[in-house]
Structures are given as structure tokens and as C-alpha cells.
Amino acid sequence: MTYREKVAWLMFSSMAVTLGPYLIYVYVIQNGQPIPLPGIGQLKLYATAAVSWAVIIGTGHLFLRLKFPSEARAPADERDHEIERRSFRIGYSILIIGVIVVGIFMPFYSVGWSIINGAIFMIAVAEFVRYLTIVHSYRKQRP
């Protein structure tokens, strides 16, 4: 497994472990309950997920850099650049669709935290797909 694939797995799994439970809570447990603005309780929940995500990513990157120092310093080759371009193209397309839905359509029928959580959801989906595309691309190229 290449270093960049390990980083993609780190990013994907850290999002799944932190933002996954937050989004499940928001869309399954809290579904339909109005959250009055400013929604400090909701903001605390999201902040907990975001800070946890940052800590996992930082710790994971440090671990990978210490365990695989030569791979971490190796420059990206043309294959790595192509995989990165492809994953950004796919993730960005999903993100643009999400921005259109959340920023243009949702304000007509939703308010407050529904729109915020919709944006968080679309960002998470775009990033999940982006990292899965990276992992899939590296796995597909293995002999």
C-alpha cells in the first residue's frame, strides 16, 4: 500500500469515525426537531466532531510520517498526480451539486441548522467520495 493510499484511508476513516456519528445523530435521532438559533448545543456537538477529526488526522499523519519517513518524503509521480486530479474532479462535482442544493434550494423550505447540517453533509459526501476514489485508483493499479 502506497503512502498516499494510507493517507487517503486515514482521512476517510477519520471522517467516518467523527462526522459519521454526528450526521447519524442529526439525521436519525434529531430528525425533524427544530433547533433554535444560535443553537449552542448543536454547535458544541459539531465542534466536538470537528476537533476530534482534527486530532485523529494530526495523530495519524504524525504516526505515518514516523513509521514511513522515506515514503512520506518521496515526491509524487505522474500516477499520483493523475489520481489526485481525478479525485478532486469527482469530489468537486459532488460539492458543487451540494452547494446548489443547500445554497439555492434549501433556503426556500428550510432555515438555520437544517441548512448548516445540509452543507456539512454535502461536504462530507464529497470528501468521502474523493478519498474512496483515491483508494480505489491505487488498488486498481496494483499488480
Which pLDDT value is given to residue 11?
95
Which pLDDT value is given to residue 123?
94
Cβ pair 132, 9 in contact under 8 A: no
Cβ pair 15, 53 in contact under 8 A: yes
pLDDT tens for the chain, residues 1 to 143: 889 999 999 999 999 999 999 999 988 988 877 777 788 888 999 999 999 999 999 999 999 999 999 898 888 889 889 999 999 999 999 999 999 999 999 989 888 888 888 999 999 999 999 999 999 998 887 66
Q: CB under 8 Å to 60, separation ≥6 — which residues?
A: 10, 14
Domain count, the chain: 1
Structural domain harbouring 101: 3-140
The span from the CA of 65 to the CA of 97, in Å, is 35
Tell me the three state secondary structure of residue 8: helix
